[in-house]
Structure 1
Amino acid sequence: MAKLPPFPDTSGRRDWGTAFDAIRKLLANGDDTTQVFRIMRALNVGNAPQNYARLIATAKGGRIAHDQVELAERFSDPAFVASFAPGTVGAAYRHFLESTGYSADGLVEVSKLEPGEDDLAHPYAWMGRRIRDTHDIWHVLTGYQADESLGEACLVAFSYAQVGGLGWAFIGGAAALKSLKVTGGTLFARAVVEGYRHGRAAKWISGEDYLTLLHEPIEDVRRRLNIKEPVLYRRAQRELGPAMASYLSARREEQQLAA
């Protein structure tokens, strides 16, 4: 695979000071999603060119890159989201949006709280947006719950295995290490490692045509992409319970106190 030039006018240096400041704030409040994007921009240096090169080297990637569909715009269209048949990936994504209250444009807005390269008119920036905008689709495909610390930590480990980028590893590793003290055991951390292993075993999801994939039966897609059942994750959910599975989430703690 050919190596593409770096993003124009970038130093190629990782900003560890920003990364450590952001991870401290994220570990104090896992709902502070802005810190995730700060970490990504500080540490994922050179990641977008690598993934863009990988995309255009695939059979369908040239057409996908040429079309440059902005997935957040499609995912934010109620008519588009309503169009999927029961049992499809798209129907599962629709249920995800309805049950969590999350939205594709909400994720975009959070990402824009920190200035970065994602808004530029450049193929690498488009690739970065594509990976950002499919994060919740990956939650649906993997089964990792989005509104808990455990599910997010497992998915960022899965994502690191899939698309690289040291920021993913930094977040997942920090959450797993803190869990050793908070939960008093290794089950949370082992589930995160399982997420990484499953990301390595799965086919490269970022090369998929998502507009086609969303119409496919979800179980067929999981088999085709070799997305494995997260056994340790399910066990950690059961044994740790909601409080420990979401130990980073201030919002979850507030909900429990109000119940």
Structure 2
Amino acid sequence: MNSAIPFSDPNRTQTAFRPMKALHHFRKLVADKEDTEQVFHIIRALSGKTFVKRAQQFWSSDMGATLLAEPQNLVEILDDHATLRKLPLGTVGQAYCDFMEQEGLTAQGLVDEYEKFADKGERFNDLLELYGNRQRDTHDLFHVLTGYGRDALGEQCVLAFTYSQNPNPGVLFIAYAGGREIKRGMKDVPIYSAIREAQNNGKAALKIAHQDIRALLAEPLAAARKRIGIGEPTLYNRAHEIMRSGGVDPYDLMGQKKAAA
């Protein structure tokens, strides 16, 4: 691996495993699920050593070597909807634009949320930082490729899928703790089963963050899912069916839409 940027800054230290700190920030996240900053705190509090090994594997790969020679700004690529909309219908890029525009999201928005957290911690100009940024910037692509929405269960499933792709106990903790919150009053809905299925799907698939993202965006969505090996979200879809049959909107579990009407 040859790079002008060091793999790990000599001043970087390993974050301690702090489960009680993670629980504190999880409670804040439950109180306000839009407070994305809390997710970064939880992941930091429960981070493990496998992150370094995955980063080493990526930067030593052909894809990593290509990016070291010709750096890409994923945020600029993903937020350039004008260019992505020129791709053929049915491609990952078109589906990504549909998803982000429908949800009112941008890749830069996730970066901004991260900056709120990162400003309070240490920042380093090294390949570990760049690898972490790559995992962050591809988050919403996970939604598009897996078929999990931004409903409460969909977010937990994406996290479980992400855990198997990029193991971090903090991610899995949020997924199942969030599932526990959803499960209340939904005895017959396969909440935990859907989360476990997502976890297994993530384990079986190629690592999305290790893909050539520009090329991936130009692939037909169905073909990309097949190539990467992403399984169908069968139990997630089944959970939605059961919720709706019981008069529950999966995207409005707190009944806020009805209350606001």
Quick check: TM above 0.5? yes
Measured after TM superposition, the shift of residue 52 of structure 1 is 1.1
Structure 1 letter corresponding to 2:86: S
Aligned residues: 252
**Match of 2:90?**
87
Tell me whether 42-51 or 157-166 shows the greater mean CA deviation.
42-51
What is aligned with 1:258? 260
In structure 2, the residue matched to 1:211 is 214
1:132 is matched with 136
For residue 44 of structure 1, the aligned residue among 33, 42, 47 is 47
Relative distance call for 1:89 and 1:167 in structure 2 (3 A) is same
Q: 1:18: Cα distance to partner?
A: 2.4
Unmatched 5+ stretches in structure 1: none
Structure 1 runs of 4+ aligned residues shifted over 6 Å read 4-7
Q: 1:7 to 1:210 in 2, by over 3 A?
A: farther
Which letter maps to 2:250?
A
Question: Could you report, residue by residue, the CA deviation over 1:81-126 in whole angstroms, capped at 9, with x for unpaired residues?
Answer: 3332211100000101111111111111111111266853211111
Q: 1:7 to 1:216 in 2, by over 3 A?
A: farther
Deviations 1:189-237 (A, max 9, x none): 1101110011111122221000111001111111101111110000001
Please tell me the residue identity of whatever aligns with 2:196: V
The structural deviation recorded for 1:6 is 8.4
Q: Deviations over 1:150-174 (max 9, x none)?
A: 0000010000011111111110111
CA contact (8 A) 2:189 2:239 kept: no
Task: Kindly indicate whether the alpha-carbon contact (under 8 Å) linking 2:107 and 2:137 is maintained by their aligned counterparts in 1.
Answer: yes
Task: Give yes or no for contact 1:48–1:127 (8 Å, CA) kept in 2.
Answer: no
Higher alpha-carbon Rg: 2
Where in structure 2 are there 5+ consecutive unaligned residues? Answer: 1-6
User: What is the Cα deviation at residue 182 of structure 1?
Assistant: 3.8
Residue in 2 aligned with 1:168? 171
Q: TM-score, normalised by structure 2?
A: 0.87
Separation of aligned partners in 2, 1:24 and 1:244: 24
Q: Percent identity?
A: 32
Give deviations 1:11-58, integer Å, cap 9, x for gaps: 441232321111112223322212111111222243542221121343
Q: In the aligned structure 1, how far is the partner of 2:185 from the partner of 2:67?
A: 44
Return the alpha-carbon distance in structure 2 between the equivalents of residues 225 and 118 of structure 1.
34
Q: CA deviation at 1:78?
A: 3.8
Which of 140, 146, 166 aligns to 1:142? It is 146
**Alignment partner, residue 199 of structure 1:** 202
Who is 2:30 aligned against?
27
2:4 match:
none
Residue number among 123, 127, 134 corresponding to 1:123 in the alignment: 127
- Give me the whole-angstrom Cα distance separating, in 2, the residues matched to 1:7 and 1:138: 32
**Alpha-carbon distance between aligned partners in 2 of 1:135 and 1:41, rounded to the nearest angstrom:** 17
